[in-house]
């Protein structure tokens, strides 16, 4: 169990990173306060709630809406991944951490509690090593589940999983076809890169998901997807 000191230290690290992330598709940090033993973080209010709750209440999103939200999400991810001084990896992208504005027309990424500054992960060989804090495993990349080196594009896998979630209203491997599986089987399938686009996806969405869910060495960056993938590149924000 994490001590009170460690929880506060973790929250302060999140604030440090979040306060430097000024972007139109990232939830804005306002200030912190302390009430007795509670460390409080005040952030922008997103009145539309989370994408996950929207899916639970109303079912899958239409593909054009998913395309728009995906472009906005990739825009935020590309910004984080390309900060010149110290790029940031989110490591917990999922529908619950994507928030909607009041009219549910635009999204912002939130919850940077598991994020990592890449400069803190750099090894002597220039690679990146994992910490022992894996996010919600249904959205987690195989390289992280296998405790292998990872880089920026671990977030791209999670973006792909979030797109599946938006298109189907279910997290990956939680659809009716896979309801019989136990979590250990689901984790095995993800760790061995057996996650596939849903059969209901359009060819455009399937191609995008195949790129997001490819091997880490072949997986494109957020910037590359924004420039080259037809699922998102022709959309305006």
Among 75, 92, 111, 229, the active-site one is 92
User: How far is 25 from 71, CA to CA, in rounded Å?
Assistant: 10
Q: 201 or 38: which carries more pLDDT confidence?
A: 201
Catalytic residue check, 111? no
Q: Is the pLDDT reported for residue 207 higher than 70?
A: yes
Average pLDDT of 176-196? 93
Q: Which two three-digit tokens encode residue 145?
A: 């589940």
Range in 34-38, 125-129, 186-190, 204-208 the model is least confident about: 125-129
Q: Give the end-to-end CA distance of the chain in Å, rounded to a whole number.
A: 42
What whole-number distance in Å separates Cα of residue 195 and Cα of residue 198? 9
Binned at pLDDT 50, 70 and 90, residue 20 comes out as confident
Cα dihedral across residues 199, 205, 207, 208: positive or negative: negative
**Do residues 210 and 197 touch, judged by C-beta distance below 8 A?**
yes
pLDDT for residue 56 is more than 90: yes
| 37 band by pLDDT with thresholds 50, 70 and 90 | confident
**What is the helix (H) or strand (E) element at residue 165, kind and residue range?**
helix 154-168
Q: What are the Cα distances from residue 227, in Å, to 204, 216, 221?
A: 15, 19, 10
């Amino acid at each position: 169990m994490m001590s009170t000191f460690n929880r506060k230290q973790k929250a302060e690290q999140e604030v440090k990173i979040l306060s430097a992330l000024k972007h139109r598709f990232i939830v804005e940090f306002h200030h912190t306060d302390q009430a007795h033993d509670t460390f409080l973080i005040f952030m922008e209010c997103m009145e539309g709630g989370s994408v996950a709750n929207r899916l639970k209440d109303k079912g899958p999103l239409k593909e054009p809406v998913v395309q728009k939200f995906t472009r906005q999400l990739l825009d935020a991810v590309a910004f984080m991944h390309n900060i010149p001084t110290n790029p940031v990896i989110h490591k917990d992208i999922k529908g619950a951490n994507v928030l909607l504005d009041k009219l549910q027309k635009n999204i912002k990424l939130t919850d940077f509690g598991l994020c990592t500054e890449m400069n803190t992960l750099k090894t002597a060989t220039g690679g990146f090593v994992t910490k022992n804090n894996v996010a919600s495993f249904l959205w987690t990349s195989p390289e992280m589940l296998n405790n292998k080196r990872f880089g920026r594009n671990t977030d791209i896998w999670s973006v792909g999983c979030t797109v599946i979630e938006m298109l189907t209203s279910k997290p990956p491997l939680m659809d009716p076809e896979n309801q019989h599986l136990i979590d250990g089987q689901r984790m095995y399938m993800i760790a061995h890169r057996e996650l596939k686009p849903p059969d209901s996806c359009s060819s455009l969405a399937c191609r995008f998901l195949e790129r997001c869910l490819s091997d880490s060495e072949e997986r494109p960056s957020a910037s590359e997807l924004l420039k080259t993938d037809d699922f998102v590149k022709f959309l305006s924000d």
